[in-house]
């Protein structure tokens, strides 16, 4: 009887005993350790490399073929390929992250979300036999044969631009190339040499006010660089409606709006690539999310019909467009995947938020609030989801606020006001002298002004207070957060009566939307609130509760998840399954048209109060104020 030997797989610690001469890969499969081995042991992919922690001497010797693959991947000296390495004694094997099959990554902390990595674009390294007079197969057919032979990939199509460059790339690289295949069906790039470990995508969130791009490593899901900018369409109108009006009024209006965002995205692409030290042509796919208006304008589709009843979009489902058709400078054969939209203004950005937060997988009644110029709200659980959009305006993103600014160095992101002295304390990003107030600071300011009694529950300033910080300028009341000499801008940073009104409108719209959805689903309270938004640093949950931006809920049941739309766009970059899920979900959310809802006017006017005109809906309000006081 052949003797048996023990093998332990780290970091999981799984183990088993096997007859001698078993390969590490076979043993791994037997004990349920998932090692990626694309080529199935043909010694072409080199994916299954493992690190031998103990028992190096108990292994079959390294062959030339194995050495070539290990060298190509610049593997360290304890590395072996699991598919060909047999063990003849006890061994301890460490499976490094990049060799784990069906790898899961955590995309966000706070709300944990793990996604199995399965990007639409995958790369395959090929060493092709050189043609000669007796083997004069065409270049494309030669590549197809190698894909079939080395990776078991059936016939795929080829992008025209890739076909064009293929003959020269093959010959310049001595017939060693890496091809990128999109959705298992089309070759969208060919690069000289071994590039299988360099696979990048750009996830983009086009907000009405803010545009963010995340350069992402498609093999790990890790963000390599982030860049954001003010949506350059802002010069044509601050909200979506005014931009659509612009597109309708001028013959080249849509063209101009579209060119602005395309130029902006190319700029972001350039910036993140420069930061990561790669060229823009190395980016092989883009995902894009945005509300219905941004979605249509980005695709250069006439947005007029989504602004007029019955508010029908050009399409709901996701759409893949060649980047070159849109004028985007990623690899010439690459695609842009535009996520699906729901209905009305509830667009691809909200679908992205949903696949990032997955309320449809919850037992609990979840409320997902995505704060933006157009806020989107979804309520529900695994049974049912309803959604609406609320025109909140850009106040919470810093626009329309006298000293509002984006989350950047010098932005006041946190404020506390002593109710006794009415003196503030604040914190700025980077601890720099203040330049303005970003989203989280704006919500803090409103909450603290209200808590300190400087602003009343109806939003009016109380001018009967004895503080130099509470004053009237040209008939408008305001509160001084920072005196000129503390700042880097040389004048006082204030919150004005008008600023408070803007915040009331924004929070009123969001809050009214949430309460209408609760009525629709006939629920008195929600179990969990997820607050998302691209408007800077995470908002303060207690402040959000104090002003009634969210419905009454225990503070520990509020999760502030930052730009979940951006996270959703990143998820779509690395997971084909999540793309399918997005299409499924988008069709299943029931959309409530707030603008024509009979209760909206009344709910909106009540929700403008801090926290709400109907105090019965905020039974925990006093307690929340105490919590803040006890901080």
CB burial string 192-204: b at 16+ within 10 A, e below: bebbbbebbbbbb
Of 165 and 471, the one with the shorter C-beta distance to a second copy is: 165
Q: How far is the CB of 148 from a second copy (least distance, A)?
A: 14
Report the alpha-carbon distance of residue 227 to residue 268 in Å, rounded. 6
Q: How far is the CB of 292 from a second copy (least distance, A)?
A: 10
Of 136 and 464, the one with the shorter C-beta distance to a second copy is: 136
Q: How far is the CB of 349 from a second copy (least distance, A)?
A: 17
In Å, what is the CA distance from 566 to each residue of 107, 212, 544, 571?
A: 11, 7, 22, 9
Of 344 and 566, the one with the shorter C-beta distance to a second copy is: 344
Of 131 and 554, the one with the shorter C-beta distance to a second copy is: 131
Of 351 and 442, the one with the shorter C-beta distance to a second copy is: 351
Report the alpha-carbon distance of residue 72 to residue 75 in Å, rounded. 8
Q: How far is the CB of 312 from a second copy (least distance, A)?
A: 5
Of 597 and 628, the one with the shorter C-beta distance to a second copy is: 597
Q: How far is the CB of 307 from a second copy (least distance, A)?
A: 12
Q: In what order do the strands lie in the sheet with 91-94?
A: 14-19, 4-10, 91-94, 49-54, 79-81
CA 286 remoteness from chain centre: 12
Structure-token match 């910080």, residue found: 469
Closest to 7 in 3D by CA, of 68, 53, 46, 69: 53
DSSP secondary structure letter of residue 118: B
**Positions in the binding site for a second copy (CB under 8 A):** 131-133, 135-142, 158, 160-161, 163-164, 166-168, 171, 299-302, 304-305, 309-317, 319, 321-322, 325, 341, 343-344, 593, 596
Q: How far is the CB of 432 from a second copy (least distance, A)?
A: 45
φ, ψ (nearest 5 deg) of residue 571 = -60, -45
Report the alpha-carbon distance of residue 40 to residue 46 in Å, rounded. 10
Q: In what order do the strands lie in the sheet with 470-473?
A: 470-473, 476-482, 493-496
Q: How far is the CB of 132 from a second copy (least distance, A)?
A: 5
Let me know: does 283 contact 215? Beta carbons within 8 Å.
yes
Of 491 and 587, the one with the shorter C-beta distance to a second copy is: 587
Q: How far is the CB of 262 from a second copy (least distance, A)?
A: 14
Closest to 185 in 3D by CA, of 376, 346, 335: 335
Of 62 and 314, the one with the shorter C-beta distance to a second copy is: 314
Q: How far is the CB of 613 from a second copy (least distance, A)?
A: 30
Report the alpha-carbon distance of residue 390 to residue 371 in Å, rounded. 9
Q: How far is the CB of 257 from a second copy (least distance, A)?
A: 14
What the block records as the tokens of 247 is: 């597109």
Of 501 and 576, the one with the shorter C-beta distance to a second copy is: 576
**Other C-beta atoms lying within 10 Å of the C-beta of residue 67:** 12
| Backbone region of residue 447 per phi and psi (left: phi > 0; alpha: psi in -120 to 50; beta: other values) | alpha
Of 160 and 483, the one with the shorter C-beta distance to a second copy is: 160
Of 226 and 301, the one with the shorter C-beta distance to a second copy is: 301
**Strand runs labelled E in 265-373:** 283-290, 319-322, 335-338, 366-371
Report the alpha-carbon distance of residue 79 to residue 88 in Å, rounded. 17
* Residues ≥6 apart with Cβ < 8 Å to 506: 371, 375, 392, 393, 395, 396
Q: How far is the CB of 162 from a second copy (least distance, A)?
A: 10
φ, ψ (nearest 5 deg) of residue 455 = -115, 135
């Amino acid at each position: 009887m052949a003797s048996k030997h023990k093998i332990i797989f780290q970091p999981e610690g799984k183990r088993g005993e096997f007859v001698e001469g078993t390969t590490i890969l076979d043993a791994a499969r037997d004990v349920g350790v998932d090692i990626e081995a694309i080529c199935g042991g043909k010694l072409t992919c080199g994916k299954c490399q493992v690190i031998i922690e103990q028992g190096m001497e108990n292994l079959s010797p390294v062959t030339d073929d194995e050495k070539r693959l290990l060298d190509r991947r610049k593997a360290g000296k304890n590395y072996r390929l699991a598919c060909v390495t047999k063990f003849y004694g006890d061994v301890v094997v460490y499976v490094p992250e990049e060799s784990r099959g069906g790898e899961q990554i955590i995309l966000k902390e706070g709300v944990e979300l793990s996604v199995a990595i399965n990007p639409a674009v995958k790369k395959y390294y090929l060493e092709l036999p050189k043609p000669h007079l007796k083997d004069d197969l065409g270049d494309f057919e030669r590549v197809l044969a190698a894909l079939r032979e080395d990776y078991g990939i059936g016939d795929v199509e080829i992008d025209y631009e890739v076909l064009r460059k293929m003959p020269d790339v093959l010959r310049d690289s001595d017939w060693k190339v890496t091809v990128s295949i999109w959705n298992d069906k089309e070759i969208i790039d060919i690069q000289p040499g071994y590039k299988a470990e360099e696979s990048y995508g750009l996830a983009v969130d086009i907000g009405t006010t803010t545009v963010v791009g995340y350069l992402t490593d498609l093999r790990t899901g890790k963000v390599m660089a982030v860049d954001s900018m003010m949506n350059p369409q802002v010069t044509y109108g601050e909200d979506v409606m005014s931009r659509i009006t612009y597109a309708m009024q001028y013959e080249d209006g849509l063209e101009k709006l579209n060119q602005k965002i395309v130029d902006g995205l190319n700029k972001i692409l350039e910036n993140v690539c420069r930061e990561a030290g790669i060229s823009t042509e190395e980016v092989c796919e883009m995902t894009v999310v945005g509300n219905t208006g941004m979605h249509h304008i980005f695709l250069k589709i006439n947005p007029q019909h989504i602004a007029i009843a019955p508010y029908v979009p050009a399409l709901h489902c996701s759409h893949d467009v060649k980047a070159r058709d849109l004028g985007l400078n990623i690899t010439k054969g690459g695609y842009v995947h535009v996520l699906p939209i729901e209905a009305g203004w509830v667009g691809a950005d909200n679908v992205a938020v949903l696949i990032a937060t997955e309320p449809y997988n919850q037992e609990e009644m979840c409320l997902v609030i995505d704060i933006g110029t157009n806020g989107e709200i979804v309520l529900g659980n695994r049974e049912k989801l309803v959604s609406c959009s609320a025109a909140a305006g850009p106040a919470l993103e810093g626009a329309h606020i006298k000293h509002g600014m984006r989350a950047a160095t010098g932005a006041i992101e946190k404020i506390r006001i002593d109710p006794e002295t009415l003196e503030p304390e604040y914190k700025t990003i980077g601890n720099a002298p203040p330049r303005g107030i970003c989203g989280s600071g704006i919500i803090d300011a409103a909450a603290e002004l209200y808590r300190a009694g400087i602003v009343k529950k109806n939003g009016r300033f109380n001018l009967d207070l004895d503080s130099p910080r509470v004053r009237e300028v040209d008939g408008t009341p305001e509160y001084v957060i920072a005196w000129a000499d503390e700042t880097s801008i040389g004048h006082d940073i204030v919150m004005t009566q008008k600023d408070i009104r803007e915040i009331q409108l924004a929070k009123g719209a969001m809050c009214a939307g949430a309460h209408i959805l609760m009525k629709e689903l006939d629920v008195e309270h929600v179990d969990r609130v997820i607050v998302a938004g691209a408007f800077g640093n995470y908002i303060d949950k207690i402040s959000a509760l104090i002003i009634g931006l969210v419905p009454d809920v225990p503070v520990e049941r509020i999760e502030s998840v930052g730009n979940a739309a951006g996270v959703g766009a990143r998820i779509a970059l690395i997971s084909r399954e999540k793309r399918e899920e997005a299409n499924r979900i988008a069709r299943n959310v029931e959309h409530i048209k707030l603008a024509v809802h009979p209760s909206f006017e009344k709910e909106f006017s009540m929700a403008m109060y801090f926290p709400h005109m109907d105090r019965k809906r905020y039974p925990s309000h006093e307690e929340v104020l105490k919590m803040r006081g006890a901080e």
